[in-house]
Chain A
Amino acid sequence: MMRLLKNVHKWVGLLIGLQVLVWLLSGLTISLLDPEKVSGKQWTSKSLTVAETLEPVTLVEPDELPAGIRKDALGIDLTTRNGKPVYLVRHADGETLVDAASASVIVIDRSGAEQVARGDFTGDGEIVSIESGMAPDMETRDSRGSYWKVSFSDHANTAIYISASTGDVFERRNSFWRVRDFFWMLHIMDYPGRENFNNPLVIAVALIAIWLGISGFMLLFGSFSRSDFFFLKSPGTRGEVVITLIDPGVKQPQKVKLNKGSNLFLSLATHDVSLASICGGGGECGKCRVRFETAPWPEANTIELGLIPKRRRERGYRLACQQVADRDMTLNLPEGTLVPGQ
């Protein structure tokens, strides 16, 4: 079971480990960015949202509006723009602003857009360019119809997007938003559109990644033993065992005291007895072999069954990373493990 979990964890890790890293890195970046800056609210005038009372001037009635504008309207609202009464007519494909005094359609021109942008943006930059646009691009992907892009020279390279039909600011983009959007793309793995987190790629990778989580979480229980929490106990109550180490190249056997129940490989490593290992005690490489001097040999687990040939197991060979220091014992180490004279 443990062996299966380890393999699942390892191979899934190899397959999508990099994306898990990308998820964490992009998630962290997105969290670190201040939402007030990302949305541009930090540099948005607060006074514009106050509604103005309608002035009692003679107006065109809604039923006197041109039939083409009235047709298929989802809603008609009498409201104000810059103190002037206007009709805002909503259709399925967008909104139209009509002068309520003359019934003529209002189109926001360059200077109108400039005025709106100046009123909206409170940051420290000047207008560097005003461009008109039609098609939605990465920064205006929710837009419908034509718009004005007013760019400022502030440190965040702000662009204020104004609808050409209503004069409303519909997007405020800046460097903070652009960074967030890039990492959001990495996070949801929608590289062309940056919007759809129900895309097949992210679904497939998430379905694989969950196994990395489940196997890892289960491995967590197996990788801890009581001895890992010795630091919680007072020093007097920790049990100790004496391990006698024999290296054929060193005349005197060496004795070390280890916490009872601790992992042999790790505890020896902390006592400067460095057994050979590639995987670092993970039960992967089979390098940290030791031979128990006296029978009965401890039980070999499934990892040891896979990594040590039978005839060696029967002679007392085990993997230090799979064994615990549960009693006093004598271990034969490969020649050269101990440093002479220590």
Chain B
Amino acid sequence: MLKPAVIARNLHKWLGLIVGLQILIWLATGLYMVVVDIDFIHGDSLVKNMRDVIVVPDSKLLSMASLRIRYPDATQIGLRPVMGKTFYTVTTATDRYLLDPETGVVHSPLGEKAAREIAAYHYAGEAPVISARLINANPPMEIQTRRLPLWRIDFDDRFATSFYIDPQNGSLVTRRHQYWRIFDFLWMLHIMDYEDRSDAHNLLLIFAQITGLTFAITGLWLLFYSFSGRRTKRRAADK
């Protein structure tokens, strides 16, 4: 019969061959995620003017009543600020609109010039816009769950910052940058969902975790043998 210590050492060695690389990936990706500040990852330091208040003009405001006649199937009519100025937004079952609050002129969908201006208005950095692109289909991974179309405005900074502007209401929908993209990629490696990067309830991950857990237990078990040999070692060296 093999001794327990021999069994543990061999299990640790062979399980290490199966799951060792993934354990290293878990440790390395976990390290990145805990070390890099999550607010920075979310891009909180890249934006400004996110708390603009709406200014309701006392007289000239177009009435809700008239808008409800104009959009009889509206499910929402509201006021929101765009670049510090107040606009009406209207949502119907099929569409969304951005309206001038006094004249009722429809501004949506916003063109490239407006999208660039809105992006620059919310951008806290100094770098200029280097490109603007309207995304209608096949969105990149980083805005997979968002409603299209969206303007993607890229800035020429060291973070490779991208702002996504909704052409229907002028809002900054989200912001992405290089460290966010790295985080997202590492998160994919961490949860082993290589397709959607969001499902931690997958069989591959569960299999790797069970193997990894057995591996860790044999490792702890070996520690016991490794350290209980220390006293005899010194005696041996003295001889």
Contact = CB atoms under 8 A, between A and B. Distances in A.
Q: Do A and B bind each other?
A: yes
A61 B59 CA distance: 11
Contacts of B72: 53, 56
Interface in B69-101: 69, 72-81, 91, 93
Interface of A: 10, 13-14, 17-18, 20-21, 23-25, 27-28, 30-35, 51-54, 56, 58-59, 61-63, 65, 70, 72-80, 92, 188, 197-199, 202-203, 206-207, 209-210, 212-214, 216-217, 220, 223-224, 266, 269-270, 274, 277-282, 284-287, 306-309, 312
A70 B8 CA distance: 70
Contacts of B37: 198
A285 B229 contact: yes
Interface in B225-239: 225-230, 232-233, 236-237, 239
20 contacts: A28-B206, A33-B201, A56-B68, A59-B64, A59-B65, A62-B61, A63-B61, A76-B78, A203-B34, A212-B27, A213-B27, A220-B16, A220-B20, A269-B6, A280-B8, A280-B222, A280-B225, A281-B5, A285-B228, A285-B232
Contacts of A20: 216, 219
Given A77-B76, A77-B78, A277 B6 contact: yes
Given A21-B220, A280-B6, A280-B8, A216 B23 contact: yes
Interface of B: 2-10, 13, 16-17, 20-21, 23-24, 26-28, 30-31, 33-38, 51-54, 56-59, 61, 63-65, 68-69, 72-81, 91, 93, 191, 199-202, 205-206, 209-210, 212-213, 216-217, 219-220, 222-223, 225-230, 232-233, 236-237, 239
Contacts of B20: 216-217, 220
A282 B10 contact: no
Contacts of A278: 5, 225, 228-229, 232
B24 to A, nearest CB: 4
B201 A10 contact: no
A274 B56 CA distance: 89
Nearest to B13: A223
B64 A32 contact: no
A76 to B, nearest CB: 5
A216 B200 CA distance: 26
Given A59-B64, A197-B34, A280 B5 contact: yes
B103 to A, nearest CB: 16
A54 B77 contact: yes
B73 A53 contact: yes
A306 B51 CA distance: 67
Contacts of B199: 35
Contact of B75 (A35, A53, A58, A74): A53
A279 B223 CA distance: 9
B202 A31 contact: yes
A177 to B, nearest CB: 14
A96 to B, nearest CB: 14
Contacts of A287: 229, 232
Nearest to B211: A24
Contacts of A206: 27, 30-31, 34-35
A58 B229 contact: no
A24 B10 CA distance: 20
Contacts of A63: 56-59, 61
A80 to B, nearest CB: 8
A73 B54 CA distance: 6
Contacts of B206: 28, 31-32
B213 A28 contact: yes
B5 A198 contact: no
A236 B35 CA distance: 54
Nearest to B58: A63
Nearest to A24: B213
Which 10 A-B pairs give the minimum distances between C-beta atoms? A280-B5, A285-B229, A77-B78, A51-B75, A213-B27, A28-B209, A280-B9, A278-B229, A213-B24, A280-B6
B216 A284 contact: no
Contacts of A73: 53-54, 56, 79
A284 B77 contact: no
A38 to B, nearest CB: 9
Contacts of A220: 13, 16-17, 20
Nearest to A207: B31
Contacts of B205: 31
Contacts of B30: 23, 206
Given A77-B76, A198-B37, A309-B239, A92 B8 contact: no
